[in-house]
Amino acid sequence: MAGEAAPVLAPVSSGAIRMDADALNAFMADAFPHSKPGSRGHVVLAEPGHIRARIDPNDQALRPGGLISGPTQMGFADMAAYALVLAHIGPVAMAVTSALNYQFLRPCRPGPLFADAHMLRLGRRLAVMDVRIWTDDADKPVGQANVTYAIP
């Protein structure tokens, strides 16, 4: 209504989230309408400073030797970092990856992949995150990424 003030949002903080797992998954589905369902993974947990995501790669994600491909792992790490940024700043579609460094630690066997993304620093213009990718044991990651996002 005219004359009503817009709601005042708390300042962006790594200690509070603005979007939960359901809101993040709905946003991703709307923001990437041409992606096949399940191809990007989905957020299963969102809490201050951390999200957990899951993807169930299909046979197209495999490389020779029957392992999950590097591009699949890196794309999943990027999705988890994007979700973590959005969880904290809200639905800002134009937050973009500005750096991603990925380390392959172990062979990534077929099956469900999980990502634990942790916020290292959330500033006004940049967010820096650590993302660990694992299969059946969170203490034995198959990959690790340092991801920086530029925030508009």
Tens of pLDDT, residues 26-69: 999 999 999 887 788 999 999 999 999 999 999 889 999 999 99
Averaged pLDDT for residues 73-93 = 97
CA distance linking residue 123 with residue 119, whole number of Å: 11
Averaged pLDDT for residues 86-107 = 97
CA distance linking residue 96 with residue 53, whole number of Å: 19
Averaged pLDDT for residues 4-12 = 61
Q: Could you tell me which residues come within 8 angstroms of residue 71 by beta carbon, excluding any fewer than 6 positions away?
A: none
Task: Say if residue 116's pLDDT is above 90.
Answer: yes
pLDDT, residue 35, reads 87
Is 149 within 8 Å of 123 (Cβ atoms)? no
pTM summary value: 0.91
pLDDT, residue 59, reads 86
Other beta carbons less than 10 A from residue 46's beta carbon: 24
88 token code pair: 């904290």
- Give tens-digit pLDDT for 9-32: 667 777 899 999 999 999 999 999
CA distance linking residue 73 with residue 131, whole number of Å: 11
Task: Say if residue 5's pLDDT is above 60.
Answer: no
Task: Say if residue 8's pLDDT is above 90.
Answer: no
CA distance linking residue 45 with residue 17, whole number of Å: 12
More confident residue, 150 or 10: 150
CA distance linking residue 67 with residue 54, whole number of Å: 17
Task: Say if residue 146's pLDDT is above 80.
Answer: yes
Return the bridge partners of 54, or none: 42, 114
